[in-house]
Amino acid sequence: MTNRYLTVLAAVMAVALACGAPESKEIAGWDVSDETSGETLDHRPWQEILDAYVGTDDMGVNLFDYATISASAADTAKLGDYLDYLQGLDPSVYSRAEQMAYWINLYNALTVQVVLSEYPVDSIKEIHEGVIPNTGPWQDPHAQVNGRDLSLDDIEHGILRPLWRDKRIHYAVNCAAYGCPHLLATAFTAANTEELLEQGAHDYVNNPRGVDFVDEDFIVISSIYDWYTEDFGNTEESVVAHLIEYADEELAARLEGFAGSIDYEYDWSLNAP
């Protein structure tokens, strides 16, 4: 390919990416579960990694210490073994509650492994297998479950979003960016998923990267509410209503009746110390 062709193609891709995030579109074959199953999955290795490498900065944002884990052969192997364990399972033999936790943890652990595979980087968007720079790794196949190759986009937009139809999934999956909702310090399980979804929503909305009042007539909110507006009611009014639902009392009072301007921002720098 010529440099000119790549430049034009990059421009086209940039426009496409700016026009919106992937739509929620179910990938056939993943909607099978066994609600009679009492089997549970072992997420303890992932919990041990979260305990060791997730910390919070002075802005209240959870960060992952990629530098330190990359120097630990034992813990990088533990992460790899955990991902092998998840990919060796057949999700269809578990309940939907177990499956939801399974897919969220797989997404988050896989994202950490993807970053570590190219670390050090300043942003996950620098990681990509194609010729277009700064498009990120989300469409590249990084996992295989039941013999099927899966990308991060497949997990989020082809399985989690369409099968569960829960807007709080956006607060559960972490894309390794500072502007993203937390990589929560607790592994998801069937027993705690509801609690963690609520926690993730509350933590994000009440942090400036979720909602930031510039003045009484102008707020800056996360681009997530623009990219995935269909999941939040398809209007700015419905987005604000969602923010009020999870806002603390003071923030909710400021958002009630807000009729000013809204802008959207997102920080793609790596969620690292």
Residue 112 tokens read as 């950490």
Integer Cα distance of 21 and 157 in angstroms: 10
**How confident is the model at residue 134, as a pLDDT?**
74
Residue 143 tokens read as 């996992």
For tokens 């607060």, the residue is 171
Identity of the residue numbered 80: G
For the chain, residues with pLDDT lower than 50 are 1-19
Residues in the chain: 273
**How confident is the model at residue 133, as a pLDDT?**
72
Please, what is the end-to-end C-alpha distance for the chain in angstroms? 38
**DSSP code for 239:** H
**How confident is the model at residue 20, as a pLDDT?**
58
3-class DSSP state of 64 = strand
Phi, psi of 74, deg, nearest 5: -65, -45
Identity of the residue numbered 125: K
**How confident is the model at residue 258, as a pLDDT?**
93
Name the CA radius of gyration of the chain, rounded: 19
**How confident is the model at residue 131, as a pLDDT?**
65
**How confident is the model at residue 180, as a pLDDT?**
98
Which residues are registered as beta bridge partners of 260? none
Integer Cα distance of 68 and 64 in angstroms: 9
CA nearest neighbour of 49 among 26, 65, 32, 71: 65
Phi, psi of 151, deg, nearest 5: -100, 170
**How confident is the model at residue 63, as a pLDDT?**
98
Secondary structure element (H or E) that encloses residue 73, with its range: helix 73-87
Integer Cα distance of 239 and 72 in angstroms: 42
CB of 102 closer than 8 Å to CB of 91: yes
CA nearest neighbour of 252 among 237, 234, 265, 240: 240
Q: Indicate if the alpha-carbon torsion angle 138, 144, 146, 147 is positive or negative.
A: positive
CA nearest neighbour of 107 among 169, 63, 60, 167: 169
